[in-house]
Amino acid sequence: MAENPAAEVTTANPVAEAIAALKAQFPDAVTEDDRKGYTGIVVDPESLVEVATAVRDTLGYNYLSSATAVDYLGKGDYFEMVYHTYRVPAGGPPLVIKARTPRDKATLPSVISVWPGADFQEREAYDLMGIRFEGHPNLKRILLWEGFDGHPLRKDWKEAYYEQDQKPFDSRWPQGHVHRAEERNPYGKNVRYPEGFTLDDFTPVGEAPNYEGIDLGVNVQEMTTPGLKTDRLVVNLGPHHPSTHGVFRMVVTLNGETVEDLQPVMGYLHRNHEKIGERNTFLQNMPFTDRLDYITSMSNNLGYALAVERLLSLGPRYQPPTYRAEVIRVLMVELTRVVSHMWAIGFLLNDLGAFYTPALYAIAERELILDFFEAVAGSRMMCNYMRFGGVFKDLPERIQGIPLLANDRVRNEATLDYLANIINERLPRAIDELDNYLTNNEIIVTRCQGVGILPPEMAIAYSAAGPLLRASGVPYDVRRAEPYSIYPELDFDVAVRYNGDIYDRYLLRIDEMRQSVRILKQLLPRLRETEGQPIISGSKAYSPRVPEGEAYGRVENPKGELGYYVVSDGGQNPWRYHVRAPSYINLTALGPMTKGHKVADIVAILGSIDIILGEVDR
Amino acid sequence: MTNGDSGLKALHNPDIPVPEELQSTIAITSLDRIYNWCRARSMWPLLFGLACCAIEMIAAAASRYDISRFGMEVMRPSPRQADLMIVSGTVTKKMVVPIVRIYNQMAEPKYVLAMGACASGGGPFKEGYNVVSGIDKYIPVDVYVPGCPPTPQALIHGFLTLQKKIESQSLRTVPWYRSGESTAIPIPLLGPDIIDPRQAELIRRQAEQAAAQAAAAPSEA
């Protein structure tokens, strides 16, 4: 963060220029967002598509990172759709576009024709906020089910266990009373029905919407043509299927064994992250970010900390994180990247049929890093480690282990020696090992090369991020495109591969792990130099005063670009808290990528995207 | 499974002594004990992960923790072949429908282990509108494992607790050898909110109560 103000001075111009150009081109439709703490332009809904096309084609903001809605109930009473657009692969700060619609008749034109990556994000805004998008070809609920009562992210929608708008709840604090929410609900469960609802005149909507528009049954025309006669049939993969990496479901239309169409069905792990996040205080959200992409809790923490720090920096008493804090943050994040890519490769091999053996090798290295996380943060997976302005605890002097299992060695090593051993010895060896065993393996080559190709222009259009984007030949990495933390002073290359198939995504992950190890090696001397320096700036306030405004903080997560859009109204809680989840948006390209391949390839293509359902469904 | 020698010794009945040299090959025991001993040491879990806890479940199955030492490593993707459902993660309203269906498809004897805070009681996401406050609101649970997520050691402790439970059961009283069919759990419906068919009557009474209150309110005013 220390470098950021300087970076903004040099790069603030392109956005200002773009805004000026747009105001000149559309004097009636475009106004600058002049609310305190806000940036970007407000566009008249009528000309939204026209302006968006100009933004993409004339100004070069070809990448829609995030599209989300905010409910300004009581603050103007409108819904605002917020689009964050970037130049890819050039880099730089975002051009933020906003469009408003009244709350009672919420309708906006769909920008899917300009940025196809808006597909799922607009469906999410429809599902959770109730905004209709005209021109969207498939506008139905995505995370909840058809027939659900209301749109939960509206500020006036209250859940069954509703207690108060904001935490800490009066009933719990400061007196400290405890009650179980079930006891106050007439059904003893987390349910709430509309007034007068009974089962007498109720028919469930059921599964029909998932199969809408799919032509079921035998295609007579194809049956009468000469050659191999095949049936068209619909196959459901998931939500309980070993290859879906969790509770993901795909409705696949097959012709024989060839995929004609694939519709993802999600929401089986929709845990209402954003609604709970709006009730929480800013700090209370930190442990929840751990559970987004539960393999990479450390880097989720960093993204959220960056977003809130960006908001805090609007205030008068802001101090950027200390240097040691930044070093520790990058250390944690890069170790996480290795963990995540190891896991991704291990489980890609699982999907290719090498059941569990390669994964075991990958998990063995992960355990070493998890031991370090446990020693530092107190938990293996859910680290809850970063704080606004730094980290929560310094590295311990020694890593000590108790023998929990009969074959565990008692560990008592100096932390830096332990880290040096992992970084200099274990990880490079493990990466080489994976490379040696897998890269030229005949089965992997045959099944991965040329399968699931995503061309670069399509990857950008579908807002693909991370390894998916870079394996398609687009050298775009947030760590370089819009640098944060101490990445500018670190020496590493943005890995890129050009074929855009499963094989290149696999190779790219190997490349990235090598780059991460390169970064980690540069961090070790920095850790020694900064020993004893403060790990957090300012005071460790339980509830920091967050000034009014909006902020979008994004980091290069192992799965792709993870963004947090946070709006503050000056209170203790975020007014809006949205997560731009890379796994979720990367799935937009899954359908087009699988078309024309065999059914067995779906599993491999999905494995190569590397999704985590906690992040997909949030 | 633990090694054959000590495993067999666990079966011995102290009232009927077996000569020392035969103790590792012969056991005289009761039908209940041999039945439970076999079942407890060959639990086949359902290959089924929900959320974060599933990652720790996989870690428990990997080389460092290795649940095959307890005879639990044969993960079956089909509910028809599985004895144990590990509910490893947050149960959402959308997901509880397939879970109940899968549970009904499992053959008796079947067991459920609620892994982690979410499966046991909703966990950190309890207040969410799409989250079920614990899987035990829908299907019976045998063992609860606390943690968020539980460490692999905690999960293994849960397995051992389940083995103890199995060893306390008796052929004469287990439900799956009674006459008649076992009743399936009604599948929840997705309406305006999730609907447990067992609560249909309660929902009607609540609606009537609300209607009566609404009718009474204007006369008071």
Residues of A in contact with B211 (CB under 8 A): 196
Q: Mean of the pLDDT values across residues B131-160? A: 91
Residue (of A574, A615, A607) closest to A590 by Cα position = A607
**pLDDT above 90 (res A618):** no
pLDDT tens sequence across A349-378: 888 888 788 888 888 888 889 988 988 988
Whether residues A458 and A309 share a domain: the answer is yes
How far is A254 from chain B, CA to nearest CA, in Å? Answer: 23
Q: Is A40 helix (H, G, I), strand (E, B) or coil?
A: coil
Per-residue confidence (pLDDT) for residue A502, from 0 to 100: 92
Given a contact cutoff of 8 angstroms between Cβ atoms, the answer to whether A207 and B192 are in contact is: no
**pLDDT above 70 (res B40):** yes
Whether residues B112 and B215 share a domain: the answer is no
Per-residue confidence (pLDDT) for residue B119, from 0 to 100: 92
Sheet containing A63-71, strands listed edge to edge, beginning at the edge strand earlier in sequence: A30-32, A41-43, A95-102, A78-86, A63-71
Residues of B in contact with A295 (CB under 8 A): 55
Domain that holds residue B214: 189-220
**Residue A153 falls inside a structural domain:** no
> What tokens were used for B180?
């008649």
Per-residue confidence (pLDDT) for residue A1, from 0 to 100: 40
Whether residues B49 and B151 share a domain: the answer is yes
Whether residues B109 and B196 share a domain: the answer is no
**pLDDT above 90 (res B65):** no
Per the structure, the count of domains in chain A is: 2
Tell me how far apart the alpha carbons of residues B185 and A499 are, in angstroms, rounded to a whole number: 50
Whether residues B119 and B66 share a domain: the answer is yes
How far is B12 from chain A, CA to nearest CA, in Å? Answer: 26
Of B64, B92, B200, the CB nearest to A199: B200
Q: Mean of the pLDDT values across residues B139-144? A: 93
Whether residues B97 and B198 share a domain: the answer is no
Per-residue confidence (pLDDT) for residue A256, from 0 to 100: 80
How far is B32 from chain A, CA to nearest CA, in Å? Answer: 31
% of chain A surpassing 70 pLDDT: 93
Residues of B in contact with A129 (CB under 8 A): none
Whether residues B67 and B121 share a domain: the answer is yes
Whether residues B149 and B50 share a domain: the answer is yes
**pLDDT above 80 (res B211):** yes
Residues of A in contact with B45 (CB under 8 A): none
Inform me whether the C-beta atom of residue A243 falls under 8 Å from chain B C-beta atoms: no
Residue A380 and residue B94: Cβ atoms within 8 Å? no
How does residue A472 score in pLDDT terms, banded at 50, 70 and 90? very high
* Mean per-residue pLDDT of chain A: 86
Question: Among A118, A134, A150, where does a domain finish?
Answer: A134
Residue B192 and residue A147: Cβ atoms within 8 Å? yes
Given a contact cutoff of 8 angstroms between Cβ atoms, the answer to whether B117 and B50 are in contact is: no
Whether residues B59 and B151 share a domain: the answer is yes
> What tokens were used for A262?
């694939």
Inform me whether the C-beta atom of residue A56 falls under 8 Å from chain B C-beta atoms: no
Per-residue confidence (pLDDT) for residue A229, from 0 to 100: 67
Q: Mean of the pLDDT values across residues B5-21? A: 76
Per-residue confidence (pLDDT) for residue A228, from 0 to 100: 67
Chain B from 166 to 195: CB within 8 A of any A CB? 189-195
**Residue A524 falls inside a structural domain:** yes
Residue (of B163, B129, B134) closest to B146 by Cα position = B134
Whether residues B57 and B100 share a domain: the answer is yes
Q: Mean of the pLDDT values across residues A195-205? A: 82
Residue A247 and residue B148: Cβ atoms within 8 Å? no
Residue B130 and residue A198: Cβ atoms within 8 Å? no
**Residue B31 falls inside a structural domain:** no
How does residue A7 score in pLDDT terms, banded at 50, 70 and 90? very low
Chain A from 559 to 598: CB within 8 A of any B CB? none
Choose the weakest-confidence range: A48-57, A497-506, B90-99, B177-186.
B177-186
**pLDDT above 70 (res A219):** no
Per-residue confidence (pLDDT) for residue A520, from 0 to 100: 93
**pLDDT above 90 (res B213):** no
Of B137, B149, B197, the CB nearest to A189: B137
Whether residues B157 and B201 share a domain: the answer is no
Tell me how far apart the alpha carbons of residues A28 and A46 are, in angstroms, rounded to a whole number: 11
Choose the weakest-confidence range: A237-251, A270-284, A451-465, B103-117.
A237-251
Residue B193 and residue A294: Cβ atoms within 8 Å? no
**Residue A151 falls inside a structural domain:** no
**pLDDT above 80 (res B217):** no
**Residue B170 falls inside a structural domain:** no
Find, in chain A, the residue whose alpha carbon is nearest to that of B124: A288
**pLDDT above 60 (res A19):** yes
Residue (of A11, A272, A309) closest to B130 by Cα position = A272
Domain that holds residue A459: 273-533+542-617
Q: Mean of the pLDDT values across residues A242-254? A: 82
Whether residues B50 and B100 share a domain: the answer is yes
Residue B102 and residue A240: Cβ atoms within 8 Å? yes
Chain B from 141 to 160: CB within 8 A of any A CB? 148-149, 151, 153
Question: Which one of A162, A178, A199, A404 makes the best mutation probe of the B interface by having the most chain B beta carbons within 10 Å?
Answer: A199
**Residue A198 falls inside a structural domain:** no
CATH number at residue A111: 3.30.460.80
Per-residue confidence (pLDDT) for residue A469, from 0 to 100: 92
Whether residues B106 and B193 share a domain: the answer is no
Chain A from 269 to 328: CB within 8 A of any B CB? 269-273, 275-276, 279, 287-288, 291, 294-295
Of A182, A247, A380, the CB nearest to B133: A182
Per the structure, the count of domains in chain B is: 2
Per-residue confidence (pLDDT) for residue A8, from 0 to 100: 43
Residue (of A276, A313, A341, A309) closest to A618 by Cα position = A276
pLDDT tens sequence across A151-161: 999 988 988 88
Q: At what angle do helices A48-57 and A4-25 cross, to 10 degrees?
A: 120
Q: How far is CA A44 from CA A97, A101, A475, in A?
A: 10, 9, 34
Choose the weakest-confidence range: A13-17, A60-64, A450-454.
A13-17
What does the DSSP 8-state code read for residue A504? H
Tell me how far apart the alpha carbons of residues B155 and B49 are, in angstroms, rounded to a whole number: 14
Inform me whether the C-beta atom of residue A197 falls under 8 Å from chain B C-beta atoms: yes
Tell me how far apart the alpha carbons of residues A11 and A15 are, in angstroms, rounded to a whole number: 8
**Displacement of CA A478 from its chain's centroid (Å):** 13
Per-residue confidence (pLDDT) for residue A400, from 0 to 100: 79
How does residue B3 score in pLDDT terms, banded at 50, 70 and 90? very low
Per-residue confidence (pLDDT) for residue A25, from 0 to 100: 87
Of B63, B126, B194, the CB nearest to A191: B194
Question: Which one of B127, B155, B199 makes the best mutation probe of the A interface by having the most chain A beta carbons within 10 Å?
Answer: B127
% of chain B surpassing 90 pLDDT: 28
Residue B130 and residue A187: Cβ atoms within 8 Å? no
Tell me how far apart the alpha carbons of residues B131 and B175 are, in angstroms, rounded to a whole number: 31
